[in-house]
Amino acid sequence: MSNFTPTERTRVRRKPERGSYDRELIYRILDEAFVCHVAFIADGQPFLVPTNYVRVGDKLFLHGSTASRLMKALGSGAPFCLSVTLLDGIVCAPSATGHSVNYRSVVVMGKAEPVEGEAAKLAAMRDFVEYVIRGRWATVRPPSEQELKGTMVATLRSLRRRTSSTILGRNRQTAP
């Protein structure tokens, strides 16, 4: 697997030795969680929403009501910043400021676009369910036309592209 190429915006500056752009590592972290936080700007103010996601290959999908502020912002092409954080442990140290945590986090920056077409939306919704509970999709009533209409699925189109996708890596301390 290849590396993502860091951009001016995504390059880890503080303690750069903790950063990584390794695609496999990034996907492994993403695949351990299903809750992320997404930041975006609306009316000039920063907003932050916890939501769930699914990764399918090089794509990340988010979904929500078409009426939600988050989905409206994503649908309009506004830039966003998404983070997934896994807390692995607490680091104790002899000095107060040496205390820290072991964590792995991924930050994704980019723009999203709505998934168009009923079949593509349905496939993504299946992926959301199957990612969290494998085998569940076959046992449930699929979304009605009305439910599909009320749901917006957005895909992070830039995950492949270095120009706007920006993913930065893990932070793992093992010593005080």
The site for its own copies (CB under 8 A) is made up of 9, 13-14, 35, 37-41, 44-50, 52, 65, 67-69, 79-83, 85, 87, 90, 92-99, 101, 103, 105, 107, 109, 125-126, 128-129, 132-133, 136-137, 140-143, 147, 151
Nearer to its own copies, 11 or 160 (CB): 11
Count CB-CB contacts under 10 A for residue 47. Answer: 14
Least distance between its own copies and beta carbon 148 (Å): 9
Smallest gap from residue 166 Cβ to its own copies (A)? 10
Closer residue to its own copies, CB minimum distance, 1 or 50: 50
Burial 100-139 (b: 16+ CB within 10 A, else e): eeebbebbbbbbbebbeeeeebeebbbbbbebeeeeeeee
Smallest gap from residue 173 Cβ to its own copies (A): 14
How many whole angstroms separate alpha carbon 38 and alpha carbon 47? 8
Report in angstroms how near the CB of residue 37 gets to its own copies at its nearest: 4
The smaller minimum CB distance to its own copies, of residues 4 and 80, is found at: 80
Taking the C-alpha atoms of residue 153 and residue 137, their distance in angstroms, rounded to an integer, is: 17
Q: For its own copies, give the closer residue by CB, 94 or 117.
A: 94
Structure tokens at 170: 């893990």
How far is the C-alpha of 104 from the C-alpha of 19, rounded, in Å? Answer: 10
Q: How far apart are CA 166 and CA 109, in angstroms?
A: 5
| Shortest separation between residue 65's beta carbon and its own copies, angstroms | 6
**Between residues 1 and 141, which has the closer beta carbon with respect to its own copies?**
141
Residue with tokens 């076959």: 138
